[in-house]
Amino acid sequence: MEPSENKPIIVVKNLTARFGNNIVFEDVSFEVYKGEILVIVGESGCGKSTLLKIMIGLQKPSAGQVLYQGTDITHATEKDLNLYRQNIGVLFQSGALFSSMTIKENIALPLSEYTNLDSAAIHQIIKMKLGMVNLAGYENHHPSELSGGMRKRAGIARAMALDPRVLFFDELSAGLDPVTAVELDNLITKTNEALGTTMVIVTHELESIYKIAHRVLMLDKEAKGMIAEGKPLELKEQATDPRVKSFFLRELPSAPDEQRFYVN
């Protein structure tokens, strides 16, 4: 679905992240609109995953705020953070499924932790979520018994267990074959269209970006911040910043002293 551009669900204000004396990025500001798929891109080491962890509430920034529907999660109490976590779903690159548990047990974890549902209701939700990701009948399998793509889909089912308003994905297609990656892209777009779920996704896969992204935000390691923001095709066709062109056209960047500016 097209995002409601006048209704930001997350507002990031003047965010800075540093480790010791090393500044990862600074003064990063943007909004995530209700119902949109925002994709974060950039070279390795530019801070994409760090930004995602701060937005999730797993890491504190050195400065700045992340507001979820007006609540500042960067300075929230543990109670407010728990409420926030009930409204988001997260899937990291590894999938983060517990290998000793079945797929059913993995998906049941957030339901058991954050709800008072009985076992019958939890079972029905698990069945429904697995059906949504085309894994019906695999609830009693362990992660080791599934392919890489199936584990990612199981991870998505767990991230969706609480019907979150926002889903965060970190390199969802990493390590997958092209066919499986396309299947995941289709799952993401269908979920967004059917449920209106807002998504924030870190990826470097161009084909996925063009297919799933409503908007792209690009970070740069050298600039230590944002260098571009806009629709993917507009960035591809209109960018003059050599770093943006290099990413979207897969060309070598121009000389470093060439004029650079933001694309909006």
Nearest CA-CA partner of 176 in 166, 184, 168: 184
Check which CATH number belongs to the domain holding 174 and give it.
3.40.50.300
Residue ranges making up the domain that contains 136: 94-163
Sign of the C-alpha dihedral computed for residues 77, 83, 87 and 92 taken in this order: positive
Q: Are residues 27 and 104 in the same domain?
A: no
Rounded alpha-carbon distances, angstroms, from residue 262 to 26, 89, 126, 129: 16, 31, 44, 40
What confidence score (pLDDT) does residue 158 get?
94
Rounded alpha-carbon distances, angstroms, from residue 49 to 39, 45, 102: 12, 9, 28
Residue 148 tokens, joined: 């890489």
Q: Are residues 122 and 177 in the same domain?
A: no
User: Which one-letter DSSP state was computed for residue 144?
Assistant: G
What confidence score (pLDDT) does residue 176 get?
81
Q: Are residues 101 and 4 in the same domain?
A: no
Q: Are residues 152 and 181 in the same domain?
A: no
Q: Are residues 55 and 184 in the same domain?
A: yes
Q: Are residues 79 and 101 in the same domain?
A: no
| pLDDT digits (tens), the chain, 264 positions | 455 557 899 999 999 999 999 999 999 999 999 999 999 999 989 999 999 999 999 999 999 999 999 999 999 998 899 889 899 999 987 667 899 999 999 999 999 988 999 999 999 999 999 999 999 999 999 999 999 899 999 999 999 999 999 999 998 877 788 888 899 999 999 999 999 999 999 998 899 999 999 999 999 999 999 999 999 999 999 988 999 998 988 765 554 444 443 343
Q: How buried is 37 (Cβ within 10 angstroms: 0-12 exposed, 13-18 middle, 19+ buried)?
A: buried
Q: Are residues 174 and 83 in the same domain?
A: yes
Number of domains observed in the structure of the chain? 2
Q: Are residues 225 and 256 in the same domain?
A: yes
User: Which one-letter DSSP state was computed for residue 73?
Assistant: G
Q: Are residues 110 and 7 in the same domain?
A: no
Q: Are residues 197 and 246 in the same domain?
A: yes
